[in-house]
Chains A and B, each alone.
Chain A
Amino acid sequence: MTSQEQVIKTVIPDLRNIPLDRLAELGASSLARSIVLYRERLKENGVPLSSFNARI
């Protein structure tokens, strides 16, 4: 496989084609794990704003 074809598996579950009313059926799935991981990252980093003062 060339570098052009290589893909990176990301940590965001692909929910594009899953209707909202089916999410609950996924139960203790990778979705739940992804939510736990995301919450941990949020607790660790917060929501860090990038704030810039152009005059500095």
Chain B
Amino acid sequence: MISTHRLPDAAFMTLAGGGGSRAMIRQLLQAQRSKHTMLLHAIAEAASDADPAAQGTAAFRAGYELLTRIQATDHGAGEWLLGLPHVGGWAHDGLIRLDQGAVPDFAYLACAAAAAAVRAGVPFELDVPVRDGRVLLPGLGSLRVPDRSPWVRLRCAGGRLTAGDRLEAATRDLRPDDGSARPVPHWRGTPAVRAAAGGLTWDVLLVTDDPYLDRYTLPMSAGLATDELRRWRQRVQAAWEVLVRHHRWAAGPIAEGISAIVPLTPRADTDLISATSPAAFGAVATSWPPDPVTLAETLVHEFQHVKLCGLMDMVPLASAGAENVYAPWRQDPRPASGLLQGIYAHLGIVRFWRAQRHAETHPDDILRAQVQFARWRQTIDSAVTTLRQTGCLTSAGVRFADAMRAKGRELAAGSVPEEAQEVAREVALDHRLNWQMRHVAAHADDVARLAAAYRAGEPFPDRGQPAVWIEGDVRKIDSGIRSRLLTMRYLAPRRYRELYSDRIIPLSEPDRLLLGQAAEPAVQAYRDLIARSADPQPDAWVGLALALHQLPSSPVQTAFASQLPVMFEVHSCLGARSDPLELASWFG
């Protein structure tokens, strides 16, 4: 009879508040090792039913037998292997393939077991696959094999590893490349960084060669040239210094829990994309971070996901919901579990910027930190309310959400300069209204009834709000440049000033007035644009709402901020030349 992992309630509540000690992260990692063992067992059962003559099946069996021997002779080496995010990614892939009726990549286990054996000095002999001329030893590196054969026999004995008949190397040299060792012929160690600051050390791999960690929304970088690797090492070291100096609550647990960074290939130079997968506990993926503080924030952010993924494997917190909802950090509607992940990540982000705003010295950096803090602190409470309304939380999930809310309120305290607060409000409004225009649909009959009442000069009907719901893509809206400039004001203020003053960006006149804080002329310009246009102008409606937001509060401003998609639909029903502000007054 086997028991299940136990988690102290105090640890659960500490994690729910966005924290977690190194000891708690070790508990999550121990559970992940058990999960990987469980998945490995499921794949082993499938292998026992597979064609024994197939080389992949034979390699799996040899790898499984080797891993069993490693466990018996060097428990730590077995633990190391079963804790690798690479193995988690592979095991998930195998399980998914089995559920799809496909054959798992059995042979990968032989490579993984060989890596653990090389690391522990356990003798072995087995066949492993050669891919693109290399044998992958997950977590260590890869060996270039001169033969063109798809398989090669590895033999390890007496501290030497041979591949086939020709290649031989000392096992002590087959290590990740932290930049300190001399080159080893035919060997490419996985790039590694040893970051050190303030008495804390973090060892992390930069993985660009494992197919099971190439499972993110963007492709993994195809290797790091010498110069790129040097820059990555410097950036990781600099980010580590930021974390240790100003965010020590996060630094220790990150060193315990993140063992691999996967550099991603970005879509565009200006995009910073980062990602985490529940299949690969301990790995975070990111495109090139433009500065150390951004990488430090990304690590805090993604590590929140790592922790929550580990916890949700142990304690289910949410079921898949029927309806997707608004998340203030995404352009797409999110399921309950996705919203939960986002709130948890932003709990860490709020804590990060809350401290970082006091660490910055340059005015632009201070503005960025203050706006980031102001923008995200206001999202936690309302997002938790949305999450609870989905009805998708388990009883543990409800406790978890309430603890996030309580911590969010605690972190939200503190004053922010008015300029930063105003930028944060405006950017948050822009995000929400764009999202609503994209995703909130209104019932056509209800909209037509409202349009008829307006046309007839009747007052806004009691209970006249149309039925609305959330859909994937209701309207196409083209406000990307304006939104980017709004966020660029605090993310890259100098670049923003250059672009705006040089008129490099092709902005419409209303947008230029809005960004120049000329609120009243901007209101008039958007109003004219909407009234004279034969086609619906959803992005102009958002612009009008933002311009009104720059003016003193009024019922019209409130109507735009709270009922924009419905007003837009009624206006479309009325046809062009109807004045949007008069319509908003009727709604207000």
Q: A residues within 8 Å of B by Cβ?
A: 3-16, 18-21, 23-24, 26, 29-31, 34-35, 38-39, 41-45, 47-56
B413 located at the interface, meaning its Cβ lies under 8 Å from any Cβ of chain A in the complex: no
A30 to chain B: closest residue by CB: B2
Contacting pair B2 A54 (CB below 8 A):
no
Selected from B9, B34, B92, B319, the residue in CB contact (under 8 A) with A3 is: B9
15 contacts between A and B (CB under 8 A): A5-B8, A7-B9, A10-B7, A10-B31, A12-B34, A13-B34, A18-B2, A41-B316, A42-B96, A47-B215, A50-B341, A51-B216, A52-B329, A55-B270, A56-B431
Assess A3 versus B2: contact at CB under 8 Å? Given A39-B99, A42-B95, A56-B330: no
A15 CA to B39 CA, complexed, in Å? 11
Taking the nearest CB of chain B, how far is it from the CB of A40, in angstroms? 10
B13 to chain A: closest residue by CB: A3
Contacting pair B275 A15 (CB below 8 A):
no
Contacting pair A11 B316 (CB below 8 A):
yes
Residues of B within 8 A of A6 (CB): 8-10
Residue with the greatest number of chain B CB neighbours at <10 A, chosen from A19, A20, A50: A50
Contacting pair B315 A10 (CB below 8 A):
yes
Contacting pair B5 A10 (CB below 8 A):
yes
Residues of B within 8 A of A10 (CB): 4-7, 31, 314-315
Taking the nearest CB of chain B, how far is it from the CB of A6, in angstroms? 4
- Give me 10 other A-B pairs in contact (C-beta within 8 A), A7-B9, A12-B314, A35-B41 excluded: A13-B3, A16-B34, A29-B1, A35-B39, A44-B319, A47-B277, A48-B278, A48-B335, A53-B273, A54-B271
Contacting pair B278 A34 (CB below 8 A):
no
Residues of A within 8 A of B483 (CB): 56
B534 located at the interface, meaning its Cβ lies under 8 Å from any Cβ of chain A in the complex: no
Residues of A within 8 A of B274 (CB): 51-52, 54
Contacting pair A20 B4 (CB below 8 A):
no
Contacting pair B272 A13 (CB below 8 A):
no
A19 CA to B33 CA, complexed, in Å? 12
Contacting pair A23 B8 (CB below 8 A):
no
Contacting pair B273 A51 (CB below 8 A):
yes
Closest A-B pairs by Cβ, 9 of them = A10-B314, A6-B9, A54-B272, A15-B34, A51-B217, A51-B275, A15-B37, A7-B6, A50-B305
A-contacting 9-mer, from B65-73, B379-387, B441-449, B565-573 = B65-73
A52 to chain B: closest residue by CB: B274
Residues of B within 8 A of A7 (CB): 6-9
B217 to chain A: closest residue by CB: A51
Taking the nearest CB of chain B, how far is it from the CB of A20, in angstroms? 5
Assess A26 versus B7: contact at CB under 8 Å? Given A47-B92, A52-B273: no
A55 CA to B491 CA, complexed, in Å? 8
A38 CA to B71 CA, complexed, in Å? 25
